[in-house]
Amino acid sequence: MYAVVDIEATGGNHINGRIIEIAVILFDGKKIVKEYSTLVNPEVKIDWYVTKLTGITNKMVADAPLFAAIAQEIIDLTKGNIFVAHDVIFDFKFLKEELRKVGFDFNEPQVCTLKLSEKHLPNAASYSLGKLCDEMGIPIPEEVRHRAAGDAVATAKLLGLLLSMND
């Protein structure tokens, strides 16, 4: 089983940035079997650029759960599954650091759809998630682009397409 993850963060890197939204999509290689997403109160201000990109405001996350309150659920969804993300190092490092801060160790095997795309689609015009999905006919409605749930679903669909290229 694959745990396809997308996070939105306050900006910066995994050391000084904080998660503001997370989605985990459980994907069996053919279909989505479970979807989870939530905003997260980062307890710090969101960078203006992040708000411009994602539409997530400080007001939106003010009443969202703290990461500590959802950490066990994230562990339950991801444990024993292959961790997948588009540019997996970014999402994995952010999540690993947030989990470390609340007492969890996190070391799941990883798959990167960006790297898989470079391998299977060597002539793609771009390897950004949005452009790849456009090129491959995977719709990402504009209102969910650069939001965790929309990008995670798109990544799961892209993963399914890339996995079928191995058959």
Tens of pLDDT, residues 92-151: 999 999 999 999 999 999 999 999 999 988 888 888 888 888 888 887 766 666 688 889
Q: What is the DSSP string of 13-61?
A: -TTT--EEEEEEEEE-SSSEEEEEEEE-B-SSPPPHHHHHHH---HHHH
Average pLDDT for the chain: 90
Instruction: Please report, rounded to a whole number, the percentage of residues in the chain having pLDDT higher than 90.
Output: 70
The 3-class secondary structure across 48-109, one letter per residue, is HHHHHHHCCCHHHHCCCCEHHHHHHHHHHHHCCCEEEECCHHHHHHHHHHHHHHCCCCCCCC
The answer to whether residues 27 and 159 touch, using CB atoms and an 8 Å cutoff, is: yes
At residue 23, the pLDDT reads 96
Q: Which residues pair with 93 in a beta bridge?
A: none
Query: Tell me, what amino acid is at 153?
Result: V
Residue 68 structure tokens: 């500590």
At residue 145, the pLDDT reads 66
Domain residue ranges in the chain: 2-164
**Residue 153 burial (CB count, 10 A):** 22
Domain 2-164 has CATH 3.30.420.10: yes
Say whether pLDDT at 167 is over 70. Answer: no
Say whether pLDDT at 79 is over 60. Answer: yes
Per-residue pLDDT tens for 14-30? 778 899 999 999 999 99
β-sheet with 32-39: strand ranges across: 32-39, 19-27, 2-9, 82-85, 110-112
How far is residue 84's CA from residue 45's CA, in Å, rounded to a whole number? Answer: 28
The answer to whether residues 153 and 147 touch, using CB atoms and an 8 Å cutoff, is: no
